[in-house]
Amino acid sequence: MPKYVTILGATGTIGLNTLDVISRHAEQFRVFALTAHSRVDELAALCLKFKPRFAVMLDETAAEKLHLRLQGTDTTVLSGLAALEDVSAHAEVDIVMAAIVGAAGLKPAMAAAHAGKRILLANKETLVMAGSLFMHAVEQGGATLLPIDSEHNAIFQVMPPQRLAHLEDGGVRRILLTASGGPFRKASNAELLAVTPAQALNHPNWVMGPKITIDSATLMNKGLEVIEAHWLFNAPAEKIEVVVHPQSVIHSMVEYVDGSVLAQMGNPDMRTPIAYGLGYPQRLDGGVAALDLFKVARLDFELPDTARFPCLRLAFDALKQGGTAPAILNAANEVAVDAFLNGNIGFLDIPRLIESVLGSMKIEPVNSLEQLVAVDELARATATEWRQLEAC
């Protein structure tokens, strides 16, 4: 029986890589729904090729255009957030790839969790914003959560198979979360001050969407991933160590009390974790080239520098503070990245803005999704105000 797959964020880099893996195993998978925000041409082309039952655009005007483009096909076009939730929770869906970028991915991922789907989670912002609520929904809904972020997928592969209440229960001493260090690993403070969006968008090892590429350059991506690892693996902040590993061949490691360190390695290609998630527990060929160790030749490791890259420290601090702090961090970061990409603030203003927003808002215990959505909105408004004041 083929499995039915909904791909949230189908037009993005993760969405396209997912479709690439699916097309290599057409007998095992059927595309149930493809979704996007507003890029009509891109989603129309994917619908004509993969013939999903539903296509959803968040934007209503874009959905109307897509509807005209898909007339005469068997694809029904829908729009809005409720439709994104519906195609994530639909009774006929087996697998949901959660690959929307940013906080916008939270509610559809939640819908998939409540409906007990197999969730391939690329959208790390879901766990950063609402880790406790999301993990609870996964458990209550009977969903299967498989991490797609390459580091977390690596950790998942080398962790004990059962989910641990405490790392010690599985003999795990700590998690070693690898980071490429981004394009400015060796840059001085003066050089960081002058970084342009074009330079920051040029990642040395990975091809990714613009938001995560900027996050990689500031090391906020690693900070978000520390919080993501905390929720996925029940790991306290002090048991997660970030290791800069510029070759991006080891995708993360787990250290055990007997001194063993288990690593998952491979070429930096997102089709590896995607194929793992789609095929689990079987292995699928996702079209990834074999790792040539002789070509790699050496593996380097460095400590991260939180003085030059304060975003990593801010994320660790937010995790330790807990409550709504990570949701505020995430929202402020989304506004900051957007402002940087639009040329409104400098590269080093990104951590300044986030720190200022975190310092100005009250941190509270998390009690509901509605509360987090309100906190997210307030943090965005505060961040936007900061940006406008700075521009004066």
Q: Could you check whether the bond before residue 281 is cis, i.e. omega within 30 degrees of 0?
A: yes
Q: What is the DSSP letter of 302?
A: B
Q: Is 146 helix (H, G, I), strand (E, B) or coil?
A: strand
Amino acid at 28: Q
Give the nearest distance from C-beta 211 to Mg ion in angstroms: 13
Q: Give the one entry of Mg ion, ligand NDP, none that residue 46 binds, where binding means its C-beta sits below a cut-off of 5 to 8 angstroms depending on kind.
A: none
Binding residue for ligand NDP (CB under 6 A) from 38, 76, 132, 371?
38
Q: Minimum Å distance from CB 15 to ligand NDP?
A: 5
182 binding ligand NDP? (CB under 6 A): no
Comparing CA positions, the residue from 219, 191, 190, 209 lying closest to residue 309 is 219
Mapped onto helix, strand or coil, the DSSP state of residue 263 is strand
Q: Which one of 34-42, 181-189, 235-243, 294-302 is the stretch in contact with ligand NDP (CB under 6 A)?
A: 34-42
Contact flag: residue 149 with Mg ion (CB under 5 A): yes
Is the Cβ–Cβ distance between 263 and 158 less than 8 Å?
Answer: yes
First and final CA of the chain: distance in angstroms? 61
For the bound state, the minimum distance from the C-beta of residue 179 to ligand NDP, rounded and expressed in Å, comes to: 12
Q: Identify the CA nearest to 76 among candidates 18, 22, 34.
A: 34
| 338 binding Mg ion? (CB under 5 A) | no
**From 6, 79, 88, 123, residue interacting with ligand NDP (rule: CB under 6 A):** 123
Q: Considering only 131-139, 147-155, 165-173, 193-201, which stretch makes contact with Mg ion by CB under 5 A?
A: 147-155
Q: How far apart are CA 89 and CA 108, in angstroms?
A: 8
| Contacting range for ligand NDP; rule: CB under 6 A; set: 36-44, 162-170, 197-205, 366-374 | 36-44
> Residue 61: is it exposed, middle or buried by C-beta count within 10 angstroms (0-12/13-18/19+)?
exposed
171: left (phi over 0), alpha (psi -120 to 50) or beta: left
Choose among Mg ion, ligand NDP, none what residue 123 binds, the Cβ cut-off being 5 to 8 Å by kind: ligand NDP
CB nearer to ligand NDP: give 149 or 255: 149
Interface residue list for ligand NDP (CB under 6 A): 9-15, 36-39, 42, 58, 99-101, 104, 122-125, 149, 206, 208-212, 270
Interface residue list for Mg ion (CB under 5 A): 149-151
